[in-house]
Structure 1
Amino acid sequence: MSPVEESERPYLRVAAAIRHRITSGALRPGDRVPSTRQVVRDFGVAMATATRALAVLRDEGLVVTRPGSGTVVRAREPSRRAGRAPDRALTTERIVATGIAVADAEGLDAVSMRRLAAELGVGPMSLYRHLSGREELEHLLVRAVFRAHRLPEPGPPGWRAKLELVSRVEWAAYRRHPWLPELISLTRPLLAPEAMAHTEWTLRALDGLPLTSIEKTREALTLPAIVRGLAATAAAEMRAERETGMANDQWWVTLDDEVRALMASGRYPRLAAVAPEGVQDLDALLDHAVTRHLDGLAARLARSTPEP
C-alpha cells in the first residue's frame, strides 16, 4: 500500500485531525480529547475506527486514559537530562511515594526500578541503596497505603458498625489505589504490620460474640475477601479502559447489535430484564454484599442468644 493510500485510512485521518489540535495548542495538556462516541458523531466513522484512532494517539504518547477522567492530552514530561538530583536527596519515602503515584496513574506494571529512577531524576542503581528490589518495593507500597488508611480506636460501638467501618475503609483504599488487590493475598499474605493491624482490629470487633474460634477467624478473612473481590473487578475494568481507551458504557455500545440479538432470542429472559445500573454500580454492589453478609452473621448470633 502506498503512503498516500495508507494516510487515507479513516482511523489515520481521524488521528491526524486530533493530533493537529494537540500540536497546535487547541487542546492543551490535561484537556479531554473527543471520546470514541464523540468521534463517531463528529467524523461519521464506525466505533471501531474511532477506537483505533485514539489508540494511535495513545501509542504516540500524545494522550493518556485516566480512570474517571477519560482520555486526556498527556502532560509534557520535563527533560531529565538537564541534571540529576543528588543521591543524598533520595529517600525511601520519596521512592515509595513516586511508586504509588505511577501505579495510581498507569497501573502496577508501569512501576519498575528504571521508571522510578527516571521519575526521580537519579541513576537506577541509586535506588538499590534504599531498596533490595521490586519485592521490597511492593511490600512498602502496601504498607504505605494501609498506613494512610488506619482504623480509629476504639471505633464505633457495636460489632456490626465496626465491621461495616473496616469494610468501608478497605474499599476506599482499593478504590483510591486500584492496583492494591494485585498485592493482597489471603493464602500468602504479606507480613505488613499496617495490614495486619486491620485483621487484629476486625478480630477485636468480634470479641465477646458467641462464635467459635474458627468462626471468628473465617469471619476476619471472609469479609475482606468480599471487599477485595469487588475491588479486583473494579481494577480490571480500569485496566481495560486504560488499554482500550473505552469506558465500560462505550465498550457495551460496540457490542450493542450482538447483545440485542442474544436477548431477543428468548433464551435469556431473566438476563434481558436485568437493569444495567444493578451491574455497573460497584459501590452499590459492595453495600449489598456487606449488608447481606452481616445480616447472615446477625442471624447466626441470634440463634446463639439465650431466650429472655
Structure 2
Amino acid sequence: MDRPVHLRIADELRDRITDGDLAPGDRVPSTREIIREWGVAMATATKALGRLREDGLTRAVPGVGTVVAGPVRRAAQDLTRQRIVRQAIGVADREGLAAVSMRRLAADLDVSAMSLYRHVAGKDELVLLMTDAVHGEEPPAGQVPRGWRPQLELEVRQLWRVHLRHPWLAQAVSLTRPQFVPHGMAHTERLLRALDGLGLDAGTMLHAVVALVNFIRGNAVSLEAELQARTETGVTEDEWMSEHEGELGELLSSGAYPTLAKVVTAPGLDLDLDSVFEFGLRRQLDGLAVLVARAQAGRRSGD
C-alpha cells in the first residue's frame, strides 16, 4: 500500500533537515508553500507539518512560522552586507568560488542562514557584490601619467593585481554577459578615457578596451584552477613541474617535436603567468599604437 501523501511530504522535509539544507532556526515551508510545491490540499499540508512537530523536528515561532527545532543561532548585532561580502571573498580566495554558499557563510559567521537573506538575496547577488568590492580595491591613481599608453598600462596592471589577489574573479566575470558593477565600470571608464581624443572612432575604442580586459581575464583564468589543484593535492606548480620533468624529457628526446625541444631547452628561458602577461600587454599596446598613429595621420591629412 502506498505511503500517504502527507507522510511522503514529511519524509522529504525530514531529509532536508537531516541533510543540513534546513538548519536549526530556519523556517520550513508553510502550508501555502507546500500546497504550491506538491499540489496538495490544505489539509494534507497541515498534516505534513503536524507530523514534523510530533517528531520533535519543528516548532512554531510567533510572527515567523514553523522553524526547525534545536539550538537557534541568532544573527550577530554587527551582521551587515559588507561583513557577509568580506567573508565570502575570503572563502573564494582560499578555496575557489564554488566553495561559496549561503549555508557555508552562515556557518562561518555563526548565524542562521535566514539572517543572511535579510542582507543578500542569494548567491547571484552575492557574487556581484564580491566582484564590485574587489574591483574597488584599486582606486584611481592620484596623479594620472601623461600619454595614452602609460595611462592604459597603469589601469591594466591594476586590474591584473586584482585578479592575482582573487583567483576566482576571472570565473565570475563574463565577456558576453557583463556584470554592471560600479567599481568595475569605473575601470572601464578610465580605460576609455585614456583613448579618448586620439582620433579613434567609438567602435575601435570600445573593442580595444574590451580586448584589453579580456586579455587580463584570459591570463587569469588559470589562477583558480591552480588554487584548487594546490588545495586538493598540496602540490605547488613548481613541484608538479619537477614531478613531470622525466615525462617531458622523454617526449622532447623522441624527435617528434624538434622545434619545441629547441625552444623549451634554450638557456635562460623563463615562462610563467607574469612573463606571459608582460609580453602580451606590450604586444597589445604596440598594436594599439599603430591604430592611434593611423587615426592621427588621417586627422592631420583631413585638416
Q: Aligned partners of 2:237, 2:185: CA distance in 1, in Å?
A: 34
Tell whether the 8 Å contact from 2:128 to 2:181 is kept in structure 1 after alignment: yes
Deviations 1:250-296 (A, max 9, x none): 22233233211110111112211334885642112111111111011
Please report how far the alpha carbon of residue 119 of structure 1 lies from its aligned counterpart in structure 2 after TM superposition: 1.0
Which structure 1 segments of 5+ residues have no match? 1-80
Which residue number corresponds to residue 242 of structure 2?
253
Which residue number corresponds to residue 304 of structure 1?
295
Q: 1:186 to 1:248 in 2, by over 3 A?
A: same
Alignment pair present for 1:288 and 2:279: yes
Q: Aligned partners of 1:163, 1:184: CA distance in 2, in Å?
A: 20
Deviations 1:182-227 (A, max 9, x none): 1111110111111111111111111111212211110110001111
Deviations 1:125-169 (A, max 9, x none): 110111111111101100111122222366221110111011100
Which residue number corresponds to residue 216 of structure 1?
205
Which residue number corresponds to residue 175 of structure 2?
186
TM (normalized to structure 2)?
Answer: 0.70
Q: Aligned partners of 1:254, 1:154: CA distance in 2, in Å?
A: 47
Please report how far the alpha carbon of residue 301 of structure 1 lies from its aligned counterpart in structure 2 after TM superposition: 2.0
Which structure 2 segments of 5+ residues have no match? 1-69
Q: Aligned partners of 2:269, 2:201: CA distance in 1, in Å?
A: 36
Tell whether the 8 Å contact from 1:87 to 1:122 is kept in structure 2 after alignment: yes
Q: 3-state SS of the aligned residue for 2:263?
A: coil
Larger Rg: 2
Tell whether the 8 Å contact from 1:99 to 1:141 is kept in structure 2 after alignment: yes
Q: 1:163 to 1:187 in 2, by over 3 A?
A: same
What amino acid sits opposite 2:163 in the alignment?
A: Y
Alignment pair present for 1:264 and 2:253: yes
Q: Aligned partners of 1:82, 1:153: CA distance in 2, in Å?
A: 51
Q: Alignment RMSD, CA only?
A: 2.3
Deviations 1:159-181 (A, max 9, x none): 10111011100000000011111
Which residue number corresponds to residue 109 of structure 2?
120
Tell whether the 8 Å contact from 1:139 to 1:192 is kept in structure 2 after alignment: yes
Aligned residues: 228
Q: 1:82 to 1:150 in 2, by over 3 A?
A: farther
Tell whether the 8 Å contact from 2:93 to 2:167 is kept in structure 1 after alignment: yes
Q: Give matches, 1:1-308, under 5 Å.
A: 84=73, 86-152=75-141, 155-275=144-264, 280-306=271-297
Tell whether the 8 Å contact from 1:210 to 1:301 is kept in structure 2 after alignment: yes
Q: 1:185 to 1:86 in 2, by over 3 A?
A: closer
What amino acid sits opposite 2:286 in the alignment?
A: D
Which residue number corresponds to residue 32 of structure 1?
none
TM (normalized to structure 1)?
Answer: 0.69
Which one is further off, 93-102 or 245-254?
245-254
Tell whether the 8 Å contact from 2:75 to 2:115 is kept in structure 1 after alignment: no
Percent identity, aligned pairs only, is 44
Please report how far the alpha carbon of residue 233 of structure 1 lies from its aligned counterpart in structure 2 after TM superposition: 2.0
Q: 3-state SS of the aligned residue for 2:192?
A: helix
Q: 3-state SS of the aligned residue for 1:305?
A: helix
What amino acid sits opposite 2:252 in the alignment?
A: M
Deviations 1:225-249 (A, max 9, x none): 1111111123322222222221122
Q: 1:272 to 1:85 in 2, by over 3 A?
A: farther
